[in-house]
């Protein structure tokens, strides 16, 4: 039965349609509210605003559920490869054996980055953050593949762009790391799978082969799957809103990378390790830092704790915590920062302040720890997140485009000066 919501404004009643999703989530459709009443709605940070309907990811923050195209994240993380998940998100169904082979084959064909782009790296300072390098390199792809700028989006051209992006992002990421040390770049090796190839480009040297540890490659595969999509988060909404102006996919993804970089979003995994290091250098007194996080006059927050939508637990954090324990045990890692992380997790989980506000460790808390154990450099953590999130961004951009969604353009309530006359500079 279709529902209607009623709103009473200045004693006049207005009916508003209710939209119901396939998991019985309800929304009041206010898209015509201004036309009929002159009112808009206001919701800073879009905490309670649905920007779109979407068939890609279902998330229930209260129950801790996350599914991609209906498949529980727990099953995908336990059984699938990142390539299967990428295909699932972008094309809607899990690939059969032939589809997977074709998809993987096409990704492998596009792993090389144009030789002219290699020269761009020389211009970056050695200390350039790899997220800055990644976003500008991805944006530059649009100049190397100008056909991507054509807003007449035929599916063959879009597919080529999608495959190029998925194929080239690990190459760019690994090269930005090599460049930060002024080490020679390692070219992709197409007999390796996606995760192995990335590890090889990161850690092999022309003088020395790199033995790919299957435990590490598996952990990377799982981490990428866990990060692959998360419905309308900050970076994904950025990709959709940039793409809604008919900007090309490369530019939209580049904008998503920039949004992800922030410490309140994907940048948190790097900040977790920096915070643990700070606590360690300060003597390792975890209680002191928990008190600082609770002090409203102190801007310090416990990085890796809290989430906008998960108010019970983060299902990704649950999976990754287990994987983190396994990897640390298998690799025999002994690191004082990991001890601090464990203490911090325990103290915060038992503290009333954190319990009352439903602040639990999020995916970034554990992913930072696990990346450190895998010897991924700290500045590369958010880049790892970007590689994982890429299929989700692409799927969301593609859905938005195929649905012909209008350009994103929120409104505002103006709170500045009223009309006033210009005063000449000499009289001010």
What is the C-alpha to C-alpha distance for residues 257 and 339, in angstroms, rounded to an integer? 31
Pick 108 or 227: Cβ nearer ligand ACO:
227
Considering the complex, what minimum distance in angstroms separates the CB of residue 230 from ligand ACO?
7
DSSP 8-state assignment for residue 171: H
Establish if 293 lies at the interface with ligand ACO (CB under 6 A).
Answer: yes
Establish if 308 lies at the interface with ligand ACO (CB under 6 A).
Answer: yes
Establish if 265 lies at the interface with ligand ACO (CB under 6 A).
Answer: yes
Establish if 320 lies at the interface with ligand ACO (CB under 6 A).
Answer: no
Establish if 305 lies at the interface with ligand ACO (CB under 6 A).
Answer: yes
Site for ligand ACO (CB under 6 A): which residue of 77, 212, 279, 302?
Answer: 302
Site for ligand ACO (CB under 6 A): which residue of 170, 304, 368, 388?
Answer: 304
Percent composition of the chain: helix, strand, coil (DSSP 3-state, to 5): 55, 5, 35
Which residues have C-beta within 8 Å of that of residue 117, sequence separation ≥ 6?
137, 140, 144
Pick 196 or 231: Cβ nearer ligand ACO:
231
DSSP 8-state assignment for residue 61: T
Establish if 382 lies at the interface with ligand ACO (CB under 6 A).
Answer: no
Establish if 256 lies at the interface with ligand ACO (CB under 6 A).
Answer: no
* Enzyme catalytic residues: 307, 364
Pick 117 or 384: Cβ nearer ligand ACO:
384
Establish if 307 lies at the interface with ligand ACO (CB under 6 A).
Answer: yes
> For residue 72, what are the β-bridge partners?
67
User: Count of residues binding ligand ACO (CB under 6 A)?
Assistant: 18
Which residues have C-beta within 8 Å of that of residue 410, sequence separation ≥ 6?
none
Considering the complex, what minimum distance in angstroms separates the CB of residue 228 from ligand ACO?
12
Q: Two tokens at 104?
A: 């993987």
Report helix angle 155-180 to 381-402, nearest 10.
170
Site for ligand ACO (CB under 6 A): which residue of 84, 196, 364, 399?
Answer: 364
Pick 212 or 320: Cβ nearer ligand ACO:
320
> Which range binds ligand ACO by CB under 6 A, 95-103, 134-142, 260-268, 329-337?
260-268
In this structure, is the dihedral angle defined by the CA atoms of residues 112, 117, 122 and 126, taken in order, positive or negative?
negative
What is the C-alpha to C-alpha distance for residues 369 and 340, in angstroms, rounded to an integer? 11
What is the C-alpha to C-alpha distance for residues 126 and 176, in angstroms, rounded to an integer? 9
Burial, 26: exposed, middle or buried (Cβ in 10 Å; 0-12, 13-18, 19+)?
exposed
Establish if 311 lies at the interface with ligand ACO (CB under 6 A).
Answer: no
Pick 23 or 298: Cβ nearer ligand ACO:
298
Is 33 in contact with 46 (CB distance < 8 Å)? no
Establish if 239 lies at the interface with ligand ACO (CB under 6 A).
Answer: no
Establish if 387 lies at the interface with ligand ACO (CB under 6 A).
Answer: no
Look at the block and give the residue holding tokens 């929120």.
Answer: 410
Binding mask 342-361 for ligand ACO (x = CB under 6 A): ---------------x-x--
Pick 188 or 361: Cβ nearer ligand ACO:
361
Order of strands, edge to edge, in the sheet holding 71-72? 57-60, 65-68, 71-72
**β pairing state of 12-20 and 26-28:** antiparallel
What 3-state class would DSSP assign to 18?
Answer: strand
Contact positions vs ligand ACO (CB under 6 A): 264-266, 268, 293, 301-308, 357, 359, 362-364
């Amino acid at each position: 039965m279709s529902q209607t919501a009623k709103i009473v404004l200045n004693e006049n009643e207005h009916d508003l349609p209710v939209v119901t999703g396939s998991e019985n989530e309800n929304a009041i459709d206010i898209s015509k509210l201004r036309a009929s009443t002159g009112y808009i709605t206001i919701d800073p940070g879009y905490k309670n605003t649905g920007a779109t309907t979407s068939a890609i990811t279902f998330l229930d923050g209260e129950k801790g559920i996350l599914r991609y195209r209906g498949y529980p994240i727990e099953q995908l993380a336990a059984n699938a490869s990142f390539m299967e998940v990428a295909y699932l998100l972008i094309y809607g169904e899990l690939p059969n054996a032939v589809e997977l082979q074709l998809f993987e084959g096409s990704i492998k064909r596009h792993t090389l980055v144009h030789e002219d782009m290699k020269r761009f790296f020389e211009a970056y300072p050695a200390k350039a953050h790899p997220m800055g390098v990644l976003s500008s390199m991805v944006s530059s792809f649009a100049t190397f593949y100008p056909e991507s700028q054509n807003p007449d989006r035929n599916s063959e051209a879009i597919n080529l762009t999608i495959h190029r992006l998925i194929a080239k992002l690990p190459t760019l990421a690994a090269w930005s790391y090599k460049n930060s040390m002024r080490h020679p770049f390692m070219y992709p090796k197409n007999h390796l799978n996606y995760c192995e190839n990335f590890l090889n480009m990161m850690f092999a040297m022309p003088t020395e082969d790199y033995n790919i540890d299957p435990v590490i490659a598996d952990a990377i595969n799982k981490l990428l799957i866990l990060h692959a999509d998360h419905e309308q988060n900050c970076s994904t909404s950025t990709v959709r809103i940039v793409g809604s102006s008919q900007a090309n996919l490369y530019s939209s993804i580049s904008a998503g990378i920039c949004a992800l970089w922030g410490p309140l979003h994907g940048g948190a995994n790097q900040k977790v390790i920096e915070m643990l290091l700070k606590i360690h250098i300060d003597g390792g007194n975890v209680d002191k830092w928990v008190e600082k996080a609770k002090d409203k006059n102190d801007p310090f927050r416990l990085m890796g704790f809290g989430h906008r939508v998960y108010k019970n637990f983060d299902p990704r954090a649950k999976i990754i915590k287990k994987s983190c324990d396994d990897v640390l045990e298998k690799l025999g890692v002994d690191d004082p920062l990991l001890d601090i992380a464990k203490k911090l997790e325990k103290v915060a989980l038992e503290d009333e302040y954190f319990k009352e506000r439903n602040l639990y460790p999020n995916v970034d808390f554990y992913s930072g720890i696990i990346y450190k154990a895998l010897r991924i450099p700290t500045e590369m953590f958010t880049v790892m997140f970007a590689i994982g999130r890429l299929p989700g961004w692409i799927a969301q951009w593609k859905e938005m485009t195929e649905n012909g969604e209008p350009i994103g353009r929120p409104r505002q309530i103006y709170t500045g000066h009223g009309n006033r006359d210009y005063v000449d500079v000499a009289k001010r």
